[in-house]
Amino acid sequence: MDKINVTLNDGSKREFPVGATLLEIAKSLSQKLGKTALLAVVDGENRDLTEALEKDAAVEFVMPDTPEGLHAIRHTAAHIMAQAIQHLFPGTKFAIGPAIANGFYYDVDSEHVFTPEDLEAIEKEMTKIVKANNQLVRRELSREEALALFAKMGDNYKVELINDLPEDAVISIYSQGDFLDLCRGPHCPTTGRVKAFKLQSIAGAYWRGNEKNKMLQRIYGTAFNTKEELDDYLKMLEEAAKRDHRKLGRELDLFSIQEEGPGFPFFHPNGMIVRNALEEYWRQVHRAYGYQEIKTPTILSRSLWEQSGHWDHYRENMYFTKIDELDYAIKPMNCPGGMLVYKTKPHSYRELPIRAGELGLVHRHELSGALHGLFRVRCFTQDDAHIFMTPDQIKDEIQNVIKLFDEVYGTFGLKYHAELSTRPEKAMGDEKTWEKTTNALREAMDDFGLKYIVNEGDGAFYGPKIDFHLMDSIGRTWQCGTIQLDMQLPEKFDLTYVGEDGLKHRPVMIHRVVYGSIERFIGILIEHFAGAFPAWLAPTQVRILPITERHIGYAQKLAEKMFDLGIRVHLDDRNEKIGYKIREAQVQKIPYMLVVGDKEVEDGTVSVRRRSEGDLGAMPADDFAALLVKEVADKK
């Protein structure tokens, strides 16, 4: 019998008969591997375990606790859900059903309007399909065979998808029991491998995202390798719902979005206190790291955006106006204005690096369906900075920025990981320049000791970048900071400096933001802290609660003294019971409550309650004020 050589991921080689399936190979290596592996990577490509090997290959098996394994579980769960819908609601037509970041969905066309109660019934039917442990069988068809098959089934959505595929495309279908679907795969070997799932919600979705097409019903679900992982995720979602920044923004009177300005947030007095504290901290940190602050106009001429490349590459996201019959644009980015500031005077190598920071308001056109509280808006303030430097300063400057980011994120208790994004399909400049700049970022991170993953093809159109993904207190990640290395805009704007040799040279430039968008960062912090801001950020830091009217005079003097120390203090002198006042202050997430009664008036003390710890007992009023001033200064 003919044999093939299989190279395993540990480098060892094993012989197997030609035509052995990947599942058979897994079982021969170990019974446990055969029972748990979901896919195999064959010569770098993900394959179904049912596939037979006909030639020598390198093989690595994919386990459920890997991202690829989880993707296979969710992709297979989407097919199981579709099969369950077919059983319960015959005549339903199926559009697309992919695995996505946190689960899966299927877009369906049905005369039945699905309800949350239907999701429970579908889940029960899915459980039956999982217990049946049906094998997922892949078949490849010619274009004509596939079109005939789905036309016979009356599935116009699959027919349209097949017609849009290239003439030479390999068309594959998967069947499991009585269900058949058009799909590239790969999938788990059997339905029984999907052990923990939950259907979550129903939404509307236009076919292929085009509002001119039919509105379909999209059913969302999620799936995990174990029930414990699923339960943890669902608990996280419950906690996230409690922390929703839109809900807390209303309750804490921080911001609002009005019908008159969709996507344009209004900041209320409480929200402005948080915002101003963030901006003051930004200025403090940047001053320490050698930045100068600039401000550039919101509206600039079309010629500038043509010069920068935004007119060609970003126009669909911009807003426009005319002034004196000439075209102008509202800036979607601060960079071109920063170029013009640099060009206002000649520069010497002795001045470099120049670090110019800007809290610049930008406007970008976002589709109305994409708007989401402070997370996706149409106007926001980017905490941009542009660093102009000589080529030999690149590594030091990038590492200096990483150090600044590390300090800022640490202040908020936010952990992070980094991603290096490389040249996108539509990019300015030649490949050699891209390679040089990408390698510069890579070397800076390696030398700094910053761990990162590579995100191929996701760089900005003018240069590669490092993105910083923050992890909040309940484990979610948010992309905020970015460092982008740019050798294109200095060229386009003819930026120069006089070198040590007396000749003109082209500076290298870094674009970078640490908050990203102040609006979005505030939204992240609201959810990270569940609205319970640390004292240095809290709109009201102290609420003084006199027990009766005769204690108000003492309370007023305390409030005045604390106000003079810069403490944000509020005196609750209403004729309410002290228990009610305390509960209300807790609901409004005030960091400190000071209860004052006869004993406190007599001793010159305050009875301190901390939001997170309750009653801390009495202390001299001046001592408390000093402790709070220090806590705020230290940004604890």
Letter string b/e over residues 530-541, b meaning 16 or more CB atoms within 10 A of that residue's CB: bbbbbbbbbbbb
Question: Cα 374–376–381 angle (5° rounding)?
Answer: 65
Cα 229 to Cα 194, 224, 236, 452, 589: the distances in Å are: 13, 6, 11, 25, 31
Spatial distance between the Cα atoms of 544 and 555, rounded to a whole number of angstroms: 7
Residue 246's contacts (CB-CB under 8 Å, 6 or more residues apart) are 373
| Candidate list 218, 465, 520, 551, residue with the active-site label | 465
87 is catalytic: no
> Could you give the count of Cα atoms lying within 13 Å of 191 in the half-sphere of its Cβ?
24
386 is catalytic: yes
79 is catalytic: no
Give the dihedral sign, CA 259/260/265/270: negative
Please name the residue ranges forming H helices in 211-296: 227-243, 245-251, 269-288
> Could you give the count of Cα atoms lying within 13 Å of 459 in the half-sphere of its Cβ?
28
| Candidate list 176, 382, 541, 588, residue with the active-site label | 382
384 is catalytic: yes
- Let me know how long the chain is: 636
Question: Cα 203–208–211 angle (5° rounding)?
Answer: 70
598 is catalytic: no
Per the CB < 8 A criterion, the answer to whether 504 and 498 are in contact is yes
Residue 461's contacts (CB-CB under 8 Å, 6 or more residues apart) are 309, 313, 424, 426, 427, 428
> Could you give the count of Cα atoms lying within 13 Å of 557 in the half-sphere of its Cβ?
11
Residue 105's contacts (CB-CB under 8 Å, 6 or more residues apart) are 78, 97, 98, 218, 219, 220, 221
Tokens of 455: 């995100």
| Candidate list 155, 384, 472, 486, residue with the active-site label | 384
Spatial distance between the Cα atoms of 245 and 90, rounded to a whole number of angstroms: 41
Say what angle helices 431-448 and 394-411 make with each other, to 10 degrees: 50
511 is catalytic: yes
> Could you give the count of Cα atoms lying within 13 Å of 349 in the half-sphere of its Cβ?
13
| Candidate list 155, 187, 193, 335, residue with the active-site label | 335
Element (H, E) at 5: strand 3-8
Per the CB < 8 A criterion, the answer to whether 431 and 542 are in contact is no
What do you get for the CA distance between the two ends of the chain, in Å? 72
376 is catalytic: no
| Candidate list 71, 364, 423, 589, residue with the active-site label | 364
SS3 114: coil
Nearest to 28 by CA among 43, 46, 16: 16
| Candidate list 355, 386, 528, 568, residue with the active-site label | 386
Say what angle helices 156-163 and 143-152 make with each other, to 10 degrees: 160
Tell me which residues are annotated as active site: 335, 364, 382, 384, 386, 465, 511
